[in-house]
Amino acid sequence: MKILVTGGTGYIGSHTVVELQQKGFEVIIVDALFNSRIEVLDAIEKISGTRPEFESFDLADRRLTDEFFSRHHDIKGIIHFAAHKAVGESVEQPIKYYRNNLDSLMNILESMTKYNIPNLVFSSSCTVYGQPDAEHLPVSEKAPIKKAESPYGNTKQIAEEIISESINAYKGLNAIALRYFNPVGAHDSAMIGELPLGVPNNLMPYITQTAYGIRECLKVFGSDYPTHDGTPIRDYIHIMDLAKAHVVAIERMINAKMKKSFEIFNLGTGTGYSVLDVIKSFEKVSGLKLNYEIVGRRAGDIEMVWADPTFSNDELGWKAERCLDDMTSSAWKWEQTYRKNS
């Protein structure tokens, strides 16, 4: 059974590829390598024993996408990760984000209808909820969608609408959108993990790079939020739990277990942790003292959000199993292993 993973050399994509292979799926990756490295294929092969098929081109190119699908009639499902994801950059270069993230999705949907590929799993995000009102915390799939704070967030909202409308219009198409909370951590082997280019925007790689001495000091953005220690709260989820959820989603589609042709699930643990909670966990598992300072708030940051995962737990039969210490320790092991080998 062949599955196309777009963006399969990226952070979430690479972990999902390994999980798919270990479940017996054949994987073909398409990745333009805009934000990832070809060496990830070697690491995937080392972990799973199988090198996935790989093609490098931009799925936002309609002609190349059509040409690709015309050569691959055996694809039974698509997990679509390939997208730009830097919130700040999306504010500076909105057209880059709309063009890439939406054109690639539309090209894929068009090819799915043309070549009769029925199943799509789409990477969505909890950014669609914005800052939920107090009565919507923890946030379930039924919580209202808020106006997007950035072009990046807007591409996720518009993408869900494009998928929903396409499914209404074209018989035989099915999709599952997975709304991720904050994916962190790395594969147990420490052979794949998060590899941000340049200065990290996200908390976990900033912590591990600071501990390794690549960054001097972690800036904690704000300590005056209405939370137990004043720092913002997120639902951090281990990348391996997240990867497993994608396999469950694609199996649900293939085994015709869907209750409707477009389903949406939250992927989170259901527990929120503050920035200082994450730092404390890191210090505990690493035995190090992290160099950090509290500075002003970062513009656009949400105060607190965490998932109500009840619907995904019940419907998918999936549950995030790994705790915060597993996340910080695997992220730290990955950072050290990667730096030693590069």
What are the residue numbers of the active site? 152
Nearest-approach distance from CB 245 to ligand UDP, in angstroms: 18
Q: Which of 72, 19, 79, 76 is nearest to 50 (CA)?
A: 19
- What is the β-pairing status of strands 292-295 and 236-238? unpaired
Nearest-approach distance from CB 222 to ligand UDP, in angstroms: 6
* 275-286 vs 324-341: helix crossing angle, rounded to 10: 60
228 binds ligand UDP per the rule CB under 6 A? no
Nearest-approach distance from CB 309 to ligand UDP, in angstroms: 17
Per-residue interface string for the shown chain with ligand UDP, residues 278-307, x marking contact by CB under 6 A: --------------------x--x------
164 binds ligand UDP per the rule CB under 6 A? no
150 binds ligand UDP per the rule CB under 6 A? no
244 binds ligand UDP per the rule CB under 6 A? no
Number of residues that bind ligand UDP (CB under 6 A): 14
Query: Which span (46-54, 96-104, 201-209, 248-256) binds ligand UDP, by CB under 6 A?
Result: 201-209
234 binds ligand UDP per the rule CB under 6 A? yes
Secondary-structure percent of the chain, ordered helix, strand, coil, rounded to 5 = 45, 20, 40
Q: Please tell me the distance from the alpha carbon of residue 323 to that of residue 328, in angstroms, as a whole number.
A: 9
Nearest-approach distance from CB 334 to ligand UDP, in angstroms: 16
Structure tokens at 130: 């914005």
202 binds ligand UDP per the rule CB under 6 A? yes
- Other Cβ atoms less than 10 A from the Cβ of 11: the count is 25
Identify whether the C-beta of residue 55 lies closer than 8 Å to the C-beta of residue 29.
yes
For residues 189 and 201, which CB has a smaller minimum distance to ligand UDP in the complex? Answer: 201
Q: Which of residues 207-226 bind ligand UDP (CB under 6 A)?
A: 218-221
148 binds ligand UDP per the rule CB under 6 A? no
3-class secondary-structure state, position 337: helix
- What does the DSSP 8-state code read for residue 59? T
CA 3 to chain centre: 18
For residues 162 and 290, which CB has a smaller minimum distance to ligand UDP in the complex? Answer: 290
Rounded to a whole number of angstroms, the distance between the first and last alpha carbons of the chain is 35
131 binds ligand UDP per the rule CB under 6 A? no
Identify whether the C-beta of residue 78 lies closer than 8 Å to the C-beta of residue 4.
yes
Identified binder of ligand UDP from the candidate list 232, 268, 270, 309, rule CB under 6 A: 232
Per-residue interface string for the shown chain with ligand UDP, residues 170-199, x marking contact by CB under 6 A: ------------x-----------------
Nearest-approach distance from CB 199 to ligand UDP, in angstroms: 9
For CA atoms 310, 316, 321, 326, the dihedral sign is: negative
Identify whether the C-beta of residue 217 lies closer than 8 Å to the C-beta of residue 210.
yes
Q: Which of 279, 247, 252 is nearest to 263 (CA)?
A: 252
Nearest-approach distance from CB 31 to ligand UDP, in angstroms: 22
Using CB under 6 A, list all residues that contact ligand UDP.
182, 201-203, 206, 218-221, 232, 234, 275, 298, 301
